[in-house]
Amino acid sequence: YNALHGTNLEVETTNIQPVMLERVLYMKYYNDIAMLIDGKIVILIEHQSTINKNMPFRFLEYIERIYEKITTKDEKFGRKLVKLPIPEFYVFYNGKDDYPTESVMKLSDAFMQLDGKLKNQLENANYPLEISVKVININVDKENPILKRCEALKEYSEFIEQVRFNIENDVPEPLTNAIKEAIKKGFLSDYLNRKSTEVQNMLLAEYDYDTDIAVQRRESFEDGFSAGEERGISIGLSQGITQGAHQKAVET
């Protein structure tokens, strides 16, 4: 929070409440980080190694569920105005594809394009519903100022850079060696000394998840192609039988 806002809030004097949504499928939590600061600001952060342009849509779902989680039915249906914490949405990106140091995604980018009179009516108008997501590139080579303001995030980025270097250069046991190298250089050394096994499992799980999705897509395509091929054969046979019967009737 301090790195994002340039503040110096202290943990001891700030009320920080985790409001992550509970687990679904592969991840422990439905969203990566959601925290309520002094009951007034709710910050949602997602970490991604591939850019997903649907993040504003996903954040819309997250914030709706979080608001539902921190309010009661009595408040929602009562006549008194319910005070809601201000939401902020961030994506920390550290993938291989080149991406700006900072950029913004908007929910309105996904809205359907209009033509004619409808377009004229909405031209230059503010959309009734909007979500803005700030995308922050935390790759070391981008030298984003946030890395200077948050040492842990900087060390994490340097650690991931070491993992990639080991994999790309065929270093034996790339994850284990990356952890050893990070500890040697002082990157997240205290955490990695205590949690090296968990970190390896996390990195392997992320790889397995991506691989699993890729395999599922390929298998879906192959199944679809096979089904289409079978349908084509079936249609061809059906047409052949029909044409044969028609020819036989003509000859008769």
Neighbours of 105 (CB within 10 A): 22
Cα→Cα distances 36→44, 60, 158, 209, Å:
9, 17, 28, 29
Task: Tabulate helix, strand, coil % of the chain (nearest 5).
Answer: 55, 15, 30
**β-strands 41-48, 86-93: how paired?**
parallel
Nearest-angstrom CA–CA distance, 157 and 177: 16
Single-letter code of the amino acid located at 40? K
Q: What is the 3-state secondary structure (H, E, C) of 223-240?
A: HHHHHHHHHHHHHHHHHH
pLDDT at position 132, please? 96
* pTM over cut 0.85: no
Rounded to the nearest 5°, which phi and psi values hold at 83? -85, 125
CA–centroid distance for 179 within its chain = 25
What tens-digit pLDDT sequence spans the chain (252 residues)?
999 998 999 988 999 999 988 765 445 557 788 999 999 999 999 999 889 999 999 999 999 999 998 999 889 898 899 999 999 999 999 988 999 999 999 999 998 877 766 666 665 567 889 999 999 999 999 999 999 999 889 988 988 888 888 888 888 888 888 888 888 888 887 777 776 776 766 666 655 445 444 545 555 555 555 555 555 544 444 454 445 544 544 444
Nearest-angstrom CA–CA distance, 237 and 225: 18
pLDDT at position 212, please? 47
